[in-house]
């Protein structure tokens, strides 16, 4: 699989993932979280997915030999890509785990909560269409920095205003910023790698994302007693990441080269 084909496949997967996540958030508002109905709905969807795999004809994907990266090779992977995957996990993990709590603390009604959470996912879905063309005109490392600044701007809107409409715009922008990091980081981390090592490199990136997803809610919880709560955590995380990405771009002197 070529790098372009892998990039298109990743974008395709992430679009479907974000669509399903958005529908799931809206489904929570429709079905609710009380009683046995949510469990029935979940089991029904899982059963339907299994039936599709069992009875719908599918074609075995083309397989190729893959080699495992050594620890020395892992250490030589692009550091900005590693940081991007970790920060993606740190932010998305905390958003999934603690954003409903944060919105409740901001006196958001239960009826609006699921819609606002869906806006985060819709922001992530919208950004998947923007990433491929942006990769052609901007470097990947500074692009991650710019998306982090977009997230900082989104958080700043919430800090400045408590209006529900402002909160909705803010969450949409935060969704764009956080969901953009992982695919860009994966693309950067696999750049110029031998095709045999792409699977192994992707596994390393996924592991970094998973570590961030586990650590994110734990670290974010330290901010929850503050005035801005989760928003302060997201602001600190994305601002620090933006600064790192821009410094890394300047140091490598590749920030003006498309695709670097």
Q: In a structure prediction context, what are the per-residue pLDDT tens digits for the chain, which is 260 residues long?
A: 555 555 556 666 766 666 776 677 667 667 776 777 878 888 888 888 888 878 777 766 565 566 677 777 777 788 888 999 999 999 999 998 888 888 888 888 777 787 888 888 888 888 888 888 888 887 888 899 999 999 999 999 988 887 888 889 999 999 999 998 988 888 888 777 777 777 788 788 888 999 999 999 999 989 888 888 899 999 999 999 999 999 988 876 554 444 44
pLDDT (0 to 100) of residue 14: 63
pLDDT (0 to 100) of residue 61: 58
pLDDT (0 to 100) of residue 107: 82
pLDDT (0 to 100) of residue 172: 93
Q: How far apart are CA 53 and CA 128, in angstroms?
A: 26
Q: How far apart are CA 39 and CA 16, in angstroms?
A: 23
pLDDT (0 to 100) of residue 5: 58
Half-sphere exposure of residue 48: CA atoms within 13 angstroms, side-chain side: 6
Work out the angle at residue 215's Cα, subtended by the Cα atoms of residues 127 and 110, and round it to the nearest 5 degrees. 60
pLDDT (0 to 100) of residue 76: 78
Residue 178 in tokens: 């956080």
Number of neighbouring beta carbons within 10 Å of residue 133: 9
Q: How far apart are CA 4 and CA 39, in angstroms?
A: 40
């Amino acid at each position: 699989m070529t790098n372009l084909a892998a990039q298109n496949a990743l974008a395709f997967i992430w679009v479907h993932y974000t669509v399903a996540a958005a529908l799931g958030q809206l489904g929570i508002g429709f079905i609710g979280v009380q009683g046995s109905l949510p469990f029935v709905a979940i089991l029904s969807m899982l059963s339907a997915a299994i039936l599709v795999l069992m009875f719908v004809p599918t074609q075995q994907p083309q397989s190729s030999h893959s080699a495992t990266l050594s620890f020395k090779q892992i250490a030589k992977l692009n550091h900005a890509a590693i940081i991007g995957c970790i920060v993606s996990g740190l932010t998305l993990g905390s958003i999934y785990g603690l954003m409903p709590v944060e919105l409740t603390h901001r006196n958001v009604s239960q009826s609006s909560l699921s819609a606002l959470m869906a806006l985060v996912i819709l922001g992530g879905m919208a950004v998947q269409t923007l990433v491929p063309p942006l990769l052609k005109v901007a470097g990947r490392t500074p692009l991650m920095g710019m998306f982090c600044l977009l997230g900082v701007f989104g958080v700043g809107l919430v800090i400045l205003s408590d209006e529900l409409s402002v909160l909705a715009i803010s969450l949409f922008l935060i969704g764009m910023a956080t969901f953009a990091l992982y695919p860009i980081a994966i693309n950067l981390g696999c750049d110029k790698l031998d095709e045999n090592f792409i699977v192994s490199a992707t596994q390393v990136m996924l592991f970094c994302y998973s570590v961030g997803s586990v650590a994110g809610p734990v670290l974010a919880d330290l901010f929850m007693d503050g005035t801005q709560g989760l928003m302060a955590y997201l602001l600190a995380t994305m601002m620090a990441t933006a600064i790192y990405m821009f410094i890394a771009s300047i140091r490598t002197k590749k920030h003006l080269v498309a695709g670097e």
